[in-house]
């Protein structure tokens, strides 16, 4: 029963963690697209200018989110206490960063002044997209935060259960029975009989 419960928790954690991974992949692809558009400008050459801060931050966050997702998959697969602790710490950093940005946007009327100017205008277009699709972005943000919270909760449960030193979840029943020694079916052979040559003389 404990092994079945552990397998279910590991599978759910991997599934929910994949949502975070898809968000990270989307951020990386969006950043690469912005870099491509930026360097296609006739006045910009790739040897003279580096990408603006908004593109670099988006790419860095996307790579970090992908790294967190990979570490979560490893932690869910191994159920190691140290891996789960590191994964929970990374998730906590993401939630804290998202909470800080959200609080700054909603509580500070001049929140745009906290960010440096973006010469490419991508940051401005990103803000316009959020304003025009606020309800959809709100639901996406809610799903991402809920997935992060659920991942942390499942990681805490797996860490409390501890590592499983028994049977792995992906092992077939045939292999399980094959590893058990068939003690009851062992045939006890009689010791070999050696004839004494002196008795036959």
Tell me, what's the pLDDT at 25? 94
The band of 198, judged by pLDDT with boundaries at 50, 70 and 90, is low
Higher-pLDDT residue of 94, 166: 94
Q: Where are the alpha helices (DSSP H) in the chain?
A: 2-39, 53-78, 81-107, 122-132, 134-161, 173-178
Classify 124 as helix, strand or coil: helix
Is 24 in contact with 183 (CB distance < 8 Å)?
no
The band of 132, judged by pLDDT with boundaries at 50, 70 and 90, is confident
The band of 129, judged by pLDDT with boundaries at 50, 70 and 90, is confident
Least confident of 12-21, 57-66, 132-141: 132-141
Q: What is the mean pLDDT of residues 56-66?
A: 90
Measured distance CA(155)–CA(179) in Å, rounded: 30
pLDDT at residue 9 is higher than 60: yes
The band of 179, judged by pLDDT with boundaries at 50, 70 and 90, is very low
Measured distance CA(24)–CA(18) in Å, rounded: 10
pLDDT in tens, 82-121: 989 999 999 999 999 888 888 877 777 777 676 767 666 7
Tell me, what's the pLDDT at 178? 45
| Contacting residues for 88 by C-beta, under 8 A, at least 6 apart | 152, 155, 156, 159
pLDDT in tens, 33-43: 888 877 776 66
Q: Cα separations (Å) of 154 from 3, 23, 66, 179? A: 15, 19, 19, 31
Q: What is the mean pLDDT of residues 133-138?
A: 82
pLDDT in tens, 64-75: 999 999 999 999
């Amino acid at each position: 029963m404990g092994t079945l419960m552990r397998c279910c928790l590991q599978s759910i954690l991997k599934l929910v963690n994949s949502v975070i991974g898809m968000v990270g992949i989307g951020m990386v692809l969006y950043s690469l697209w912005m870099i491509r558009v930026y360097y296609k400008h006739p006045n910009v050459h790739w040897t003279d200018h580096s990408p603006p801060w908004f593109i670099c931050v988006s790419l860095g966050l996307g790579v970090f989110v992908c790294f967190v997702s990979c570490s979560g998959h490893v932690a869910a697969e191994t159920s190691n206490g140290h891996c789960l602790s590191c994964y929970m710490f990374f998730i906590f950093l993401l939630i804290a960063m998202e909470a800080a940005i959200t609080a700054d946007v909603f509580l500070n009327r001049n929140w745009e002044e906290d960010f440096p100017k973006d010469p490419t205008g991508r940051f401005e277009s990103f803000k316009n997209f959020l304003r025009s699709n606020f309800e959809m972005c709100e639901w996406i943000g809610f799903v991402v935060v809920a997935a992060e919270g659920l991942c942390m909760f499942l990681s805490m449960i797996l860490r409390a259960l501890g590592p499983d030193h028994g049977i792995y979840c992906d092992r077939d029943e045939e292999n399980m029975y094959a590893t058990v020694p068939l003690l009851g079916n062992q045939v006890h052979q009689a010791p070999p009989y050696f004839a004494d040559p002196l008795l036959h003389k």
